[in-house]
Amino acid sequence: MPALATEMEKKAATVLCIDDEQTALHLRQSVLESAGYRVLTAKSGARGMEVFRSQSVHAVVLDYWMADMNGMQVAREIRKLNPKVPIIILSAYGELLDESLGIADLWIRKGEEDPQYLLSSLEELLKNRPIASQRV
Amino acid sequence: MHENRRAFQFGRQRIYNQFLGMASRLTNPGQGSVSGPDRDRLSLVIENFGDPVIVADHTARVTLLDSVSKRLFGSDKAGGEDGIAANRTKLDRYLTAFTFSVLECQDKTISFYDPNLQSEVEYAAHSIKIYDSRGQCAHTVTVLRDCSNSNKVERLQLERRMEMEKFAATGKLAGTIAHEINNPMEAIKNAVYLLRDRVDPASRPIYDALKSETERVTRIVRQMLGLYRNAGTFGSFDLNGVIEDTLTLFSRPLEKARVVVDKRFGQLPAIKGSADQFRQLLSNLVVNAADSMPKGGKLTIRTRYTQSASTGYGQCSLTVADTGTGIPPAIRPAIFDPFVSTKGEKGTGLGLWIVKGIVEGHSGRILVRSTVGRGTIIKIIFPVSPD
Ligand SMILES: Nc1ncnc2c1ncn2[C@@H]1O[C@H](COP(=O)(O)OP(=O)(O)OP(=O)(O)O)[C@@H](O)[C@H]1O
Ligand SMILES: [Mg+2]
């Protein structure tokens, strides 16, 4: 029973991916789609916020380094709108760890982990939380 | 290169005596020219001497500089820093005077510019002639001994500080590069992952190579980042505890590799330094030891604390010994240099370089003893100040 539920949640789950690097964003989208997620993409923090406000999103995967606003700012804005939605921040920089505690659910060191790590973490985060819609 | 020298310094006095003995035997006319085993031993001795050694031929042309004197006089090709060029000129003048003199040996004081200290340092130059079978001067050997003994401690401290700064700067650079690599790495890994089911059988080996080489880059970057991340956090920690933690982490793989672990912990005071760095140091040494015992063996980890009754100063030692293959002699002088590895794509060659940086950051020393076919002992000694 629980396995089935997870599978269904995953099918239904929409992940918002935010990154200002086109290639990276596109590949990450494909990886998430290959695992059955519906993926929305945004090429800037501001655009990401627009998408988050206008659509139903179950989880957010965002890059820390973006030209307009950094990943932490985006995460804070999202938290204001929805304190529960899982947020994963990707960063090649280690210093983020402390800063992100309490805001992002997970911080993944870009490039060091395999894509499977992102997928299994996402699955875990979506399983442990009641699915929240975009507005509280 | 000269940084490694410290590791080998424990045998220096012995080497010095050996050197003088050999030199006097070789300078004895009628004993033949420097050849065969004596020549090999001579170069071995020179390489492990610790003080600058210069060998020149009968025309006063320098034929051999050990790594310490390369630091003062540059490598074969002249040039580079002004100070080094000036040293070279001084040396040439000195050698010419001695070689064409009637003297068999000579002692003289010369000052040379030390590029590390960025100042002039006084040396006692001791030179001897080596004669060929006809009694002609074939070579001269010159040893420079640092006279500023009174400043020796200060100089060592200064040198150590400069080395640490160099290491920190290198670490920072390595960290920056590693981060820059990690951005595209994520994309590459995603791409490799997406291709996993779409490769036709004929192209499979190419795909596998792509995948394993990508993992290799990850390992290099991880080592570099480890160095960077652990740069700062100094505190007080229980070394035996850190060792226990690290060994727990490795207990599974060690068991699988049929490596028996023998722990011999001494009573230690709290160590001042970075526990994270010691974890990194230890895991590098443990992995090296395990790698050297592909058919299993024994890994001994020992800690010890000794204290001077008069001064209250103590020192702590950490020994990691294995019964493995031993370090190939050819790479021994370079094991602490970055990117030196015999493990092909499985090794980054950064492990011992990082170990060295960490040990120096804790004002410690590393002693290495290794016998091919029998095993390797790495001993780390660092001071523990009282309070
Ligand atoms: N305990 C040991 N026994 C035998 N050889 C060793 C041992 N430790 C180091 N070496 C030799 O020294 C080389 C350099 O070691 P180092 O730890 O710097 O790099 P590595 O082990 O090759 O790579 P990495 O540490 O990144 O996996 C090794 O490749 C190996 O040849
Ligand atoms: Mg190693």
Q: Which of B226, B60, B32, B205 is nearest to B132 (CA)?
A: B32
Percent of chain B with pLDDT over 90: 33
Chain A residue closest to B178 (CA)?
A92
CB contact under 8 A, B179 and A92: yes
- Chain A's closest residue to B176, CA to CA, is A93
Strands B105-114, B119-131: pairing kind: antiparallel
**Cα–Cα nearest to B382, from B304, B265, B290, B292:** B304
Q: Give the dihedral of Cα atoms A87, A88, A93, A99; nearest 10 deg.
A: 30
Last residue within a domain, chosen from B232, B266, B288: B232
Kindly state the average pLDDT of the residues B238-260: 90
* Domain span holding position B22: 2-146
In terms of Cβ atoms closer than 10 Å to its own Cβ (0-12, 13-18, 19+), residue B262 is exposed
Closest ligand 1 atom to residue B375 Cα is 3
pLDDT tens-digit series, residues B42-99: 666 666 566 788 989 889 998 888 877 888 888 655 445 778 888 999 999 999 999 9
Same domain, B250 and B281: yes
User: Residue B378 belongs to what H/E stretch?
Assistant: strand B375-384
Q: What is the CATH number of the domain that holds B85?
A: 3.30.450.20
* Residue with the larger pLDDT of the pair B374 and A133: B374
A 10 A CB-CB count for A50 gives 12
A97: chain B residues, CB-CB within 8 Å: none
Size of interface A-B (CB pairs under 8 A): 55
Whether the CB of A22 is below 8 Å from some CB of chain B: the reply is: no
Contact B186, A111 (CB under 8 A): yes
Q: How far does residue B324's CA lie from ligand 2's centre (Å)?
A: 14
pLDDT-based confidence at B379, cuts 50/70/90? Answer: very high
Distance CA A24, CA A46 (A): 18
pTM of the predicted model, to two decimals? 0.51
B250 versus A17: the higher-pLDDT residue is A17
Range of the domain at A58: 2-134
Higher pLDDT, B313 or B85: B85
Joined together, the tokens standing for residue A131 give 């699915």
pLDDT score recorded for residue A54: 96
Secondary-structure breakdown of chain A: helix, strand, coil percentages, each rounded to the nearest 5 = 45, 20, 35
Which CATH number characterizes residue A55's domain? 3.40.50.2300
Instruction: Please state, in angstroms and rounded to a whole number, the distance separating the CA atoms of residues B298 and B260.
Output: 5
Residue appearing with tokens 């923090």: A45
**Are residues B254 and B202 part of one domain?**
no
Give dist(CA B237, CA B294) in Å, integer: 33
**Helix H or strand E encompassing B142:** strand B137-146
User: What phi, psi does B319 have (nearest 5°)?
Assistant: -115, 130
A131 touches chain B (CB under 8 A): no
Q: What is the pLDDT of residues B94-115, one digit of tens each?
A: 999 999 888 888 888 898 988 8
- Crossing angle (nearest 10°) for helices B36-47 and B12-27: 140
All residues of chain B having their beta carbon less than 8 Å from the beta carbon of residue A90 are: 186
Distances (CA, A) of A25 to A29, A48, B188, B217, B373: 6, 12, 12, 21, 52
pLDDT higher than threshold 80 for residue A132: no
Q: Whose CA is nearest to atom 7 of ligand 1?
A: B288
User: Do residues B167 and B89 both lie within one domain?
Assistant: no
Say whether both B163 and B249 belong to one domain: no
**Region of residue B344 (left: phi > 0; alpha: psi -120 to 50; beta: else):** left
Structure confidence by residue, pLDDT tens digits, A102-125: 788 888 888 888 999 999 999 999
Q: What is the mean pLDDT of residues A37-57?
A: 95
Closest C-alpha to A53, from A19, A20, A77: A77
- What confidence tens digit (pLDDT) does each residue in B258-308 have? 999 999 999 999 998 888 788 889 989 999 999 999 999 999 999 999 987
The overall average pLDDT reported for chain B is 80
Tell me which of B176, B181, B182, B186 to substitute to probe the interface with A (most A C-beta atoms closer than 10 Å).
Answer: B186
As a whole number, mean pLDDT of residues A5-16 equals: 68
Are B64 and B70 spatial neighbours (Cβ–Cβ below 8 Å)? no
- pLDDT, greater one: B86 or B348: B86
SS3 state of residue B369: strand
State the pLDDT confidence band at B230, using cuts at 50, 70 and 90. Answer: low
Contacts of B261 (CB under 8 A, 6+ apart): B247, B251, B254, B298, B299, B300, B301
Predicted local distance difference test score (pLDDT) of residue B27: 44
Name the domain count of chain A: 1
- Say what angle helices B351-361 and B204-229 make with each other, to 10 degrees: 0
Burial class (CB in 10 A: 0-12, 13-18, 19+), B196: exposed
Picking from A30, A93, A111, the nearest residue to B186 by CB comes out as A111
Strand, helix or coil for residue B334: helix
Q: For A96, which residue in chain B has the nearest alpha carbon?
A: B229
User: Going by CA atoms, what residue is nearest to atom 8 of ligand 1?
Assistant: B288
- pLDDT-based confidence at residue A3 (cuts at 50, 70, 90): very low
Same domain, B188 and B87: no
Asked if B210 has any chain A CB less than 8 Å from its own CB, the reply is: no
Helix (H, G, I), strand (E, B) or coil at A102: coil
Residues B48 and B157 both lie in one domain: no
Out of B199, B232, B265, pick the residue that ends a domain.
Answer: B232
B239 and B300 in a single domain? The answer is yes
The ipTM value here is 0.83
Flag if B182 and A116 touch (Cβ within 8 Å): no
Mutate to test the pocket of ligand 1, among B223, B288, B335 (most ligand atoms within 8 A of CB): B288
Who wins on pLDDT, A118 or A11?
A118
Whole-number pLDDT of residue B133: 75
Distance from the Cα of B341 to chain A's closest Cα (Å) equals 22
Residue B11 has pLDDT above 80, yes or no: no
Instruction: Tell me the per-residue pLDDT of B105-162, one tens digit each, with 9 for 90 and over.
Output: 888 889 898 887 778 888 888 888 888 777 788 888 898 887 765 456 666 666 666 6
Number of domains in chain B: 3
* Contacts B225 to A, Cβ<8 Å: 94, 112
Q: Contact B183/A92, CB-based, under 8 Å? A: yes
Q: Which of B146, B171, B188 is the last residue of a domain?
A: B146
The answer on pLDDT for A31 being more than 90 is yes
Residues of chain A above pLDDT 70, percent? 78
Q: Worst-scoring range by mean pLDDT, A66-80, B282-296, B366-380?
A: A66-80
- Partner residue opposite A111 with nearest CB, options B181, B194, B229: B181
- Residue A56 parent element (H or E): none
CA quadruple B234, B239, B243, B249: dihedral sign: negative
B261 touches chain A (CB under 8 A): no
B58 CA to centre of ligand 2 in angstroms: 44
